[in-house]
Structure 1
C-alpha cells in the first residue's frame, strides 16, 4: 500500500531548514488538539476505575458507556436509538480506517466519495480498499459545501461527509443533510457523516445526519451512519472514546468484524468516557473559550465567526511561502491548506492558497499568535 505522508510530516519537511526568530515565543496552531486540561471529574473517574485493568473489556462496550452515548444522542439531537443502532469505538480514527475495509471487502472496483479538503484517514481507507476516489470539492464557489453530481454519486458505494467541516468550518443545515439522505436511498450507497466537531458550535446547535434521516422519514436509518467523539468535546483526545451509530443492519455485521480487530476499549477508559458523555456543563465552558478566541480573531484579522469547529480557514495567496515566512519571522506554525486536500480530475486543489489555524490555546496565547499573523499578512500585501 502506498500511503501519502500526513500533513504534519509535510509541514516538518517544509520548515526543516528554517531557523525561527528566537525573540518570539513559539506558537503551534497546526493540530486540532485542545490545549486545556481534561476536566477533573473525568480524570477522577479514570483513577477510580483503574482496578478494572485486571479485566478484559468487551468489544461491544460496557452497558454504562453505551447508555451514556445513547443518552447524549437523545439529549443533544432528540434521537432515540436502539441498543443495536450504536457501537462504542476506540475513538473515530480507527473506525474511519477499518469500516470501509469491512463494508467494501466483497465489492469489486469499489468507489468512495469524500469531501476535499479532508481528514487524511479518508484517503487512507480508500487506499487500503483499492477504491476509486471521487473528490467532493469544497471551495469558495460552492460556499465550501459539496456540489451534488448525481451521475457520479450513482456509482458510489460509500460517501463520507464531514460536517461541521475540518478544515473549512462549513456546516450543513437539516434540509441540506436530508437531501444527502435521500440520495443515499435513491442510489443505494452508504452515507457516513463525521460529526466530531458537532459540539464545538458558536451559537446554535448543529444538526446531526441522524436528525436529518428522521426528518425525511428514514426512521430505520437505512444506509445512514454517523461517528462522533469526545476528543474535541471534552478536551480528552487521549481517552479515545467515540461511537458509530445508525443503520442496525450494517452495524450488526460490522460488530462481528470488530471482534477480530482487537480494538476493545480498556474498562477504566470506558467508565471515564461515560462520565464525559453524560455531562454538558464542561462542554459549554469549552465552547465559551473557543467563541472568545473567534471574537479575538474577528477583531485582529477581520475574520467571520464560523458556526462551528475551532478553526480559521484563511486565504493568503501562496500558502507555502506564507507558512515559511510566518515561522521564520514570528516563530508561529500554521498548516498550508493544500496539505489537507488533493488535486481533482481537473488538476485543481481546493485547499491551495489557504491556511488552517487551530484556535485551541488560551485567549491570551491566541491573541499573541494572531497579532503576529496579522503583521505577517500586512508584510505580504
Structure 2
C-alpha cells in the first residue's frame, strides 16, 4: 500500500533549502487549523468529566452527544433525523478514511470519484480500498462546481463531494446538490458530502446548505444512498476534541455501525461530554464567524480579494505557484500551500491556498506583507 506524501511534507521539501527573511516573524498560512482558544465552557466540561476516563467509551457514542448532534442538524438545516440516521465519529478524518473501505469492500472493481483538488484523505481512502479514482475537476471555468458525465457516474460506487469546498471556497446550491442526489438514485451509488466548513459563513441570509436538505427537496426524505459528514473542529475552534458525525441513509449506517465496533476509534467519554455542550451552543460560533468575516474584509481592502460565501480560505491565482511559494517564504517569511500539492493531473496548478485563521491584528499585518510581495 503506497500513499502519496502529504501536502505539508511536500511543502517542507520545497522550502528546505531556503533561508527566510529574519526581519519578519514566521507566518504560516498553510493549515486549516483555527488559532483561537477553545471556548472556556467547553474546556470546563472536559475538565469536570475526567473521572469518566475510567469507562470504556461505547462505539455508538453517548446518547446525549447524539441528541446534541441531532439538535444541531435540526436547528441549522431544519432536518429532523432519527437516532438511527446519525453516528458520532472521532472527527471526520477517520470516517473519511475508513467509510470508503467499508462501502467498497464487496465491490469487485470499485470506483470512487471525488472533487479535485481535495483533502488528501479522500485519495488515501481510495488507495486503501484498491479503488479506481475518477477525479471531479474543479476549475475556474466551471466555477469550481462538481460535474461528471452520466457515463462516468454509471461506473461510480461512491462519490465524495466537499461543499463548502476546501481549498477553493466554492459553494453549491440546494438545487445543484439535488441534481447529484437524483443521479445517486438513478445510478445507485453512495453520495457523500463532506460539510466540515458549513458553519464558517458570513451572510445569515445565504448560509451553506446541506446535502440532507437537498435530498429532502427532491423527495428522498429517507436519504437513500445519501450521507453527510460534519465536524466541530472549525465551528468551535476545537479540533482536538475530535468530534464529528456521519448522517443519512440508516440502512447503510446500520451496517457501518457494526463495522465500527471493530475499528476501535470510539471517542473517550470526557471528550464526548465536552463535544455535546459544544454542539448544543451557538453564540460562540457567531463570535468566530465575526473574526473570519473581518479577516476577509481585510483581504478585500488590502488584496482586493472578494470574500467567499464560506470557509476561511483564499484560493489565490498566481503565475507559478511553486516559485511564488518559495519566493514569498524567502522574502517575507510567509508560508502558503501550493495548489498543485492539493490536486492531481495539473489541477491546482497556478493557485496557492491561504488560510485566514489568525486574529485581526496578525491577519492585517501578514496581508500587508503579502501585498508588498505581490506588488514587488
Q: What range is the shorter-chain TM-score in?
A: over 0.9
Instruction: Give runs of aligned pairs for residues 229-268 of structure 1, distance below 5 A.
Output: 229-268=231-270
* Aligned structure 1 segments of 4 or more residues deviating by more than 3 angstroms: none
Match of 1:321, SS state, is helix
Could you tell me the TM-score, scaled by structure 1's length? 0.98
In structure 1, the residue matched to 2:330 is: 328
Deviation at 1:274, TM superposition (A): 0.2
Match of 2:262, SS state, is coil
Query: 8 Å contact 1:315–1:353 — kept in the other structure?
Result: yes
Q: Distance in 1 between matches of 2:125 and 2:251?
A: 22
Q: Distance in 2 between matches of 1:291 and 1:6?
A: 29
Query: 8 Å contact 1:68–1:274 — kept in the other structure?
Result: yes
Instruction: Give runs of aligned pairs for residues 40-79 of structure 1, distance below 5 A.
Output: 40-79=40-79
Any unmatched runs of 5+ in structure 1? 344-348
Match of 2:134, SS state, is strand
Q: Distance in 2 between matches of 1:147 and 1:206?
A: 19
Match of 2:89, SS state, is strand
In structure 1, the residue matched to 2:340 is: 338
Match of 2:192, SS state, is strand
Paired residues in the alignment total: 374
Deviation at 1:371, TM superposition (A): 1.1
In structure 1, the residue matched to 2:304 is: 302
Q: Distance in 2 between matches of 1:38 and 1:110?
A: 40
Match of 1:134, SS state, is strand
Q: Distance in 2 between matches of 1:66 and 1:236?
A: 18
Q: Distance in 2 between matches of 1:196 and 1:374?
A: 30
Query: Do structure 1's residue 362 and structure 2's residue 359 form an aligned pair?
Result: yes
In structure 1, the residue matched to 2:29 is: 29
In the TM superposition, what whole-angstrom CA distance separates every residue of 1:210-247 from its partner, at most 9, and x where no partner exists?
00000001010000000000000000000000000000
Q: Distance in 1 between matches of 2:326 and 2:308?
A: 26
For residue 373 of structure 2, the aligned residue among 352, 372, 376 is 376
Q: Distance in 2 between matches of 1:253 and 1:148?
A: 28
Query: 8 Å contact 1:112–1:157 — kept in the other structure?
Result: yes
In structure 2, the residue matched to 1:346 is: none
In structure 1, the residue matched to 2:277 is: 275
Query: 8 Å contact 1:316–1:377 — kept in the other structure?
Result: no
In the TM superposition, what whole-angstrom CA distance separates every residue of 1:290-331 from its partner, at most 9, and x where no partner exists?
000000000111011100000000001101001000000100
Instruction: Give runs of aligned pairs for residues 140-179 of structure 1, distance below 5 A.
Output: 140-179=140-179
In structure 2, the residue matched to 1:17 is: 17
Superposition CA RMSD, Å: 0.5
Deviation at 1:25, TM superposition (A): 1.2
Match of 1:283, SS state, is helix
Could you tell me the TM-score, scaled by structure 2's length? 0.99
